Amino acid sequence: MILHIDMDAFYASIEQRDNPELKGKCVIVGGTSGRGVVSAASYEARRFGVHSAMPIFQAREKCPAGVYIPPRMARYRHVSGKVMAILQTFSPLVEPVSIDEAFMDITGCERLEGSPGHIARAIKTEITTRLKLTSTEGGAPERFQAKIASDMDKPDGLTIIPPRAVPDFIKSLPVEKVPGVGKNARRHLDMLGVRSGMEERGQGQDCGDRRAMAPVVSELIPQRHSVGIDDAVAVNDALDVERADAVG
């Protein structure tokens, strides 16, 4: 089983934690010049439509009352190190994928730590208790599924997809949730009437038409992802292919 741990609005949350006066306020971290972009936005700011990578001038138009703060990358890296250290206490197989998220392989940890849900809740509690920050966890047999799961209940959420639930999960998975499917691909797929992972496999309505368009769809959606298969050898080089197959 793979867990994906994603810190909630990481930069903005650290700023709110370090400065209690910012609690509950619209905090936008990013370049303060007119040409800068938003690095992170608190959930209060997101309610106004502010999001990461948005130009700062647009953020100011949407949220003029926001508190705009230049990034403190050294501080964020320091806190990130503490997050990763906490994760290492639950499993040695931790793969940071960015400053605020990581994958963990907890295969075999159940004997000592309990069920995947129990482990994920323990991680959340430890991060909140020690760092005064919230995180969202997703768990599933494969990395790509775990990442999608962590995006289903943000912020401060937890979603576990057990192996037996994967087929139904994939069947109902909107194509925009499939890694690698961007706006252009979604537009083309919508024209084909393809809206879920199972429809993409030709098992939805009008499947004859969809099968006829299979070469086009194949270019638009990573096929193995659409059926819940992740080619990545799970989490780090210490895992061999046999173990990766067992995880999936």
Give the residue numbers annotated as catalytic, written as ranges.
101
Q: In this structure, what are the phi and psi dihedrals at residue 233, rounded to the nearest 5 degrees?
A: -70, 125
Reference 100, options 149, 134, 70, 130; nearest CA is 134
Long-range contacts, stretch 201-206, CB < 8 angstroms, 24+ apart: 201/226, 201/227, 203/171
Distance CA 134, CA 175 (A): 28
Distance CA 224, CA 58 (A): 38
Tell me how far CA of residue 1 lies from CA of 144, 160, 236, 239, in angstroms.
Answer: 12, 10, 14, 13
Distance CA 69, CA 31 (A): 8
Strands 38-41 and 101-105: unpaired
